[in-house]
Structures are given as C-alpha cells and as structure tokens.
Amino acid sequence: MPPDTPETPGTPGTVWFVGAGPGDPELITIKGQKLLAQAGAVLFAGSLVDRAATEYAPDDCEIRDSKDMTLEDMTEWLVSRARQHQTVVRLQTGDPALYGALIEMARPLDAAGVPWRVVPGVSSAMASMAAAGESMTLPEVTQSVILTRVEGRTPMPEGEDLAALAAHRTTLCIFLSITLLHKVEAALREAGWPEDAPMLVVHKASWPGEELIIRGTLADIKQRCREAGVVSQAMIVASPTLGARHWETLARSKLYDPTFTHRFRKANA
C-alpha cells in the first residue's frame, strides 16, 4: 500500500490547512514543509502563494491551483482527495486563521467526516514590518496592534469601522485594502491623525525579487503608491512607531534596563 494512502480502507486521511507564510518559500514552518513532503495531494492558492512553496511536495503528488475554484469546488476536491490519501494539504497564504476561509472550508469537511488540522504561518503583517526594519510596539508609545481592513464588498461588523479603530492611535495593520487607500486616508483623518503621520506600504513582503517598500505620510502615501504602480497584495501600516530608529530619544524596555529587577537578574545599584 502506498504510504500516502489512508491506513484503514474507507477511512479518510487528514486535511492540513498549512500557512505558507507571506511569500518567501523559506518562511513556511518546518512542520508545514514536512507535511508537504509527505502529501499525496496539495491544493494551493496560486493567486497569493508563490508556487515555489509547492516544490517541497513529492514528484508524484497531485498539485492543484485553486485560483479558478469556488468554495464548493475546493471543499469537494479536498474531500475526494482525503478519500485517496493519508495527507492532503491546503496551502494558504500567511496564516490560515487570518483572512483565510478556514471555517468555511472546514465545516464541509466536518459534515463529510474528514479530519482536519491547522499549521500556523507567518503573517504578511509581521513580514512587512520585518522587511522595513520596524517594530509594531514600543515602550510608552504603543503596546497594542490592530489587524483589520476597510469595508469593501465585505461589510465590516458594527463598531469595527476603521475610523473607530484608528481613534486608539495604536499600530494598524490594514489588510486587503490597497485599492481602497482613499478610504484608509479618510478614516485616519476622521480619527484625528495628522497629515504628517508616517505610513508604510509593503508590496509582496518577502517575495524574492518582488518585494517593494514604500514610505510616506498620510498626506502623500496614496500618490507614492500610485507612482510605484502598487495595486494588489500590499500591507498598509499606520503606526506611531514608524521611523523610531531615527528618533533622538527612545524609552527603554524595562526588561533590559539595568535598574530593573526580575527573577533572572537583580538590578544594579
């Protein structure tokens, strides 16, 4: 019996929702890479995931791009392949639990009696800040991060409009909104952000040879993105922490302050 066939006849294999990370094939987790290496079938989001990530799969693995499939097509494919293979991978961009149709795909698997599990992945929010050499949090500046989007065809729940969230003046990582940058700007202005507030846009964070970092302010970030031709797959970041490495003064972290005592180190006099 081939190793990728379900161990017990009639018993489906497991569908693994694997976070491929932000784009760089090397940013997939070791666990995700191992699952790809033993998969009998892989369904990957071709419009968002670099196909290079599928190179970890064996030569005889069935690989299918889902960019032309509906939800029903995808779940039917996953169920049918789980009847044939012990390990089936749904390879998704970033982390499966963040703006991925995880629950929508998992519910039909539950109904069909197909077991499934999730392997987390690196989000493009983290990859964007890493690419730009920025920090989401800083002592006495902000200790909170909001992951959100602006309303487009998918409506926002009550109380979650961007202006309301921006009023907290914390780090905002705004997904799926580069074509609605005018709405982002309007929401930040409504929340009282100044025109010189620093803004960051990262296109295809970590994608080899395709990553593009755009810095600007609330006043000019849209124009800068237009000039760069960025119209898709971009993370928008608005944060009071942006550019901190160039500040004249910076509050120190208490954890590493020599005057701060914790259970591993006593404070110096």
Span(s) in the chain for CATH 3.30.950.10 = 124-246
> Does the pLDDT of residue 10 top 80, yes or no?
no
Span(s) in the chain for CATH 3.40.1010.10 = 14-119
Other C-beta atoms closer than 10 Å to the C-beta of 31 total 13
Rounded-to-integer distance, Cα 197 and Cα 246, Å: 15
- Whether the CB-CB separation of 234 and 255 falls below 8 Å is answered with no
> Does the pLDDT of residue 261 top 90, yes or no?
no
Confidence at residue 54, expressed as pLDDT on a 0 to 100 scale: 84
Q: Who's near 261: CB < 8 A, 6+ residues apart?
A: 267
Rounded-to-integer distance, Cα 37 and Cα 224, Å: 41
For residue 200 the two structure tokens come to: 């960051």
CATH code, 14-119: 3.40.1010.10
- Reference 236, options 188, 174, 168; nearest CA is 174
Confidence at residue 2, expressed as pLDDT on a 0 to 100 scale: 47
> Does the pLDDT of residue 247 top 50, yes or no?
yes
Tell me phi and psi for residue 181, to 5 degrees: -60, -30
Mean pLDDT across the chain: 92
95: β partners:
none
> Does the pLDDT of residue 50 top 90, yes or no?
no
% of the chain surpassing 90 pLDDT: 81
- Reference 238, options 152, 180, 175, 156; nearest CA is 175
Residue 15: in which H helix or E strand, if any?
A: strand 14-19
CATH 3.30.950.10 fits 124-246, yes or no: yes
Q: Who's near 44: CB < 8 A, 6+ residues apart?
A: 20, 51, 53, 54, 63, 64, 65, 66, 90, 91, 92
User: Is residue 146 classed as helix, strand or coil in its secondary structure?
Assistant: strand
Rounded-to-integer distance, Cα 147 and Cα 198, Å: 18
For residue 38 the two structure tokens come to: 């033993």
- Reference 234, options 92, 131, 155; nearest CA is 131
Rounded-to-integer distance, Cα 71 and Cα 18, Å: 17
Rounded mean pLDDT, 136-153: 95
> Does the pLDDT of residue 3 top 60, yes or no?
no
- Reference 169, options 196, 193, 194; nearest CA is 193
Rounded mean pLDDT, 232-239: 96
Distance of CA 224 to the CA centre of its chain: 23
